[in-house]
Amino acid sequence: MHAVATMKPDASKIPPPLASLTGVSKRYGKVLALDNVDLQVRAGEVLAMLGPNGAGKTTAISLLLGLQQADGGKAELFGLAPKSLAARRRIGAMLQATEVPDTLKVGELIALFRSYYPHPRSIDECVALAGVGDLLDRRYGKLSGGQQRHAQFALAIVGNPEILFLDEPTTGLDIEARTILWKTIRQLVAEGCAVVLTTHYLEEAEALADRVCVLAGGRVVAEGSVAAIRARVSQRRIRCISSLASKTILCWPHVRSVTQDGEHIEIVTDVAESVVRKLLDADAGLSELEIRRAGLAEAFVEITREAA
Amino acid sequence: MNAIVENAVPRATSHGAFRSYALEAKCEFLRVLRTPSASVPSLMFPPLFYLLFGILLNRGNSGAAHYLFATYSVFGVMAPSLFSFGVAVAIERERGWLALKRVAPMPPGAYLLGKMAMAMLFAAIIYCVLALMACTLGGVRLPPEQWLLLGGIALLGTMPFCALGLVIGSRANASAAPAFVNLIYLPMAFLSGLWMPLTMLPKIIGQIAPLWPAYHLSQLALMTVGQVPATGIAVHLLWLAGFTAICFAIARRWLARVG
């Protein structure tokens, strides 16, 4: 009953998932936070959960961590109940809404969390990975927001986890701090740690994830590799400087939107080739032509709009 | 709540859960030590109350002095238990700190025992201050073994109030928890005869007094100083043990829902 994946005949070579939600539903009063969600986390992969606020990302993480109980379906960690101590010893987590006591020093917090695990990382290792070396002697409450996130990250990795759950890990971090954290996450993944990540930052998913799962209204509306998700959206962006009026272009076939950005015009279209041909025909003086495929950001907006 | 109250995995102790327990208690101690604005008033409150109502308003009546010292000892140890569990658990629950530690995973019981050790330390300090005031200013004269026995009762007496505090902490908003605790703490002290002997209060209050855990603890304390006859000790102990167990069971259920 535990290893759902191995029951499928063609999946005999795929090892069972480390963590899974199977047909999970969760309701808060009248709000259906998760509606029949299936999700699997496999060894060594980075799974990014994307979705607008209220999509059910944090609820999905809470169920996988055993902090909440599903109303229907099943959540498992290593084939065990997520609440069990044996399962929780093999994970690490950085939760979104955690306020660590202000009065404790970072070094004291790390020592406390180390004692929870059978095979913890050394303090030196945590310091090196999370970049908290100069923070050990400082009280948590005296740290900046970014430093607090680093300290929380140190607590998440202290137990040498096989899966790391990161609920919006870089919210509020500046670009430099974010880049450092990404580097550390990549290093952990290279060592074989699986990561489940929720994020608002699409570039974060693009930079880190092997697989993306888009939630909207409590349902999985898209799942696959970053490239596959991106390919679901056929849109291209055309950018150029032209004397043509935006209104004129908007009337052309296949044009979805036209925006004026300073002297640049930006056109979103499904069929870039025919629009570009028309542009060049209509305006001989057109310059700085640029065509881009939609990023994850556009794909995401598209997919969640379709689902709504 | 399984990771806290339930003894989930026997192997939990195999990698030195002892160390977790000790560190948990240490962190709890440091937390309190480093927030003197919260801890000093809670240490001062019972002795001040005792000074005003137990010593200054009682001039020279030896029986009353002994009665009030026993009941104020109970009043004194109720405070740290109710507040450290009722208020601190509510805050840590609401801020997600408890959830993170459970996921971490903190070994079963470390959280509760750490807090309980802290409540007992506070209770011991409060009892020592009260005892010092009682023998210097309050005219209380007891043989050494009775001072110790009363201290022992005061320390073990923290248990039912820790459990009651945990019930509050597992449900109440962090901002409402202090009000809830006071709403239980102060009326219960009055209705259990901790401030004034029940014989001086309306009869009905004396009749319903056995409903309150503070009443049973105060009866044990009063027996120690010879203010009530030493009968029915087992009933009081059983009542307190039962009350503690029921409160812990309720808190465990409620906390399980929040993760």
Range with the lowest mean pLDDT among A33-37, A234-238, B4-8, B176-180? B4-8
Structure-token pair, residue B65: 């002095």
* Mean pLDDT computed over every residue of chain B: 87
Select from B3, B19, B97 the Cβ nearest to the Cβ of A99: B97
Which range has the top average pLDDT, A108-112, A258-262, B194-198?
A108-112
Confidence of residue B257 (pLDDT cuts 50, 70, 90): low
Confidence of residue B147 (pLDDT cuts 50, 70, 90): very high
Residue B84 at interface with chain A, using a CB cutoff of 8 Å: no
CA dist A254 and A274 (Å) reads 8
Strands (E), chain A: 19-28, 31-41, 46-50, 72-77, 91-94, 163-167, 194-198, 211-216, 219-224, 236-241, 255-261, 264-269, 287-293
How far away is chain B from the Cα of A114, in angstroms, using its nearest Cα? 9
The pLDDT value given to residue B210: 93
Range with the lowest mean pLDDT among A148-157, B31-40, B162-171? B31-40
CA dist A300 and A199 (Å) reads 12
The pLDDT value given to residue A4: 43
For residues A161-176, give the mean pLDDT: 89
Task: Find the DSSP H helices in chain B.
Answer: 17-33, 36-49, 62-94, 97-103, 110-136, 144-156, 158-169, 177-191, 203-208, 213-224, 233-257
- Relative orientation angle of helices B158-169 and B144-156, to the nearest 10 degrees: 20
CA dist A99 and B60 (Å) reads 52
One-character DSSP codes across B9-29: -GGGGTTTHHHHHHHHHHHHH
* B108 vs A240, more confident: A240
Touching B: A residues 44-73, CB under 8 Å: 62, 65-68
| Chain A environment of B255 (Cβ under 8 Å) | none
Contact check, Cβ <8 Å, A62/B259: yes
Residue A113 at interface with chain B, using a CB cutoff of 8 Å: yes
Residue B7 has pLDDT above 80, yes or no: no
Confidence of residue B42 (pLDDT cuts 50, 70, 90): confident
| Chain B environment of A141 (Cβ under 8 Å) | none
Contact check, Cβ <8 Å, A116/B107: yes
* A155 vs A268, more confident: A155
Structure-token pair, residue B175: 């901002």
The pLDDT value given to residue B16: 66
What is the SS3 assignment for B172?
A: coil
> Which residue reads 């700190």 in tokens?
B97
Confidence of residue B13 (pLDDT cuts 50, 70, 90): very low
* A12 vs B207, more confident: B207
Confidence of residue B100 (pLDDT cuts 50, 70, 90): very high
How far away is chain B from the Cα of A104, in angstroms, using its nearest Cα? 7
For residues A198-213, give the mean pLDDT: 87
The pLDDT value given to residue B107: 82
Structure-token pair, residue B137: 């200013």
Residue A100 has pLDDT above 80, yes or no: yes
Contact B209, B198 (CB under 8 A): yes
Residue B249 at interface with chain A, using a CB cutoff of 8 Å: no
Contact check, Cβ <8 Å, B100/A93: yes
* Mean pLDDT computed over every residue of chain A: 87
Residue B92 at interface with chain A, using a CB cutoff of 8 Å: yes
Residue A160 at interface with chain B, using a CB cutoff of 8 Å: no
Range with the lowest mean pLDDT among A4-13, A183-192, A286-295, B26-35? A4-13
B40 residue type, one letter: V
Radius of gyration of the CA atoms of chain A, in A: 23
The pLDDT value given to residue B258: 55
For residues A48-74, give the mean pLDDT: 90
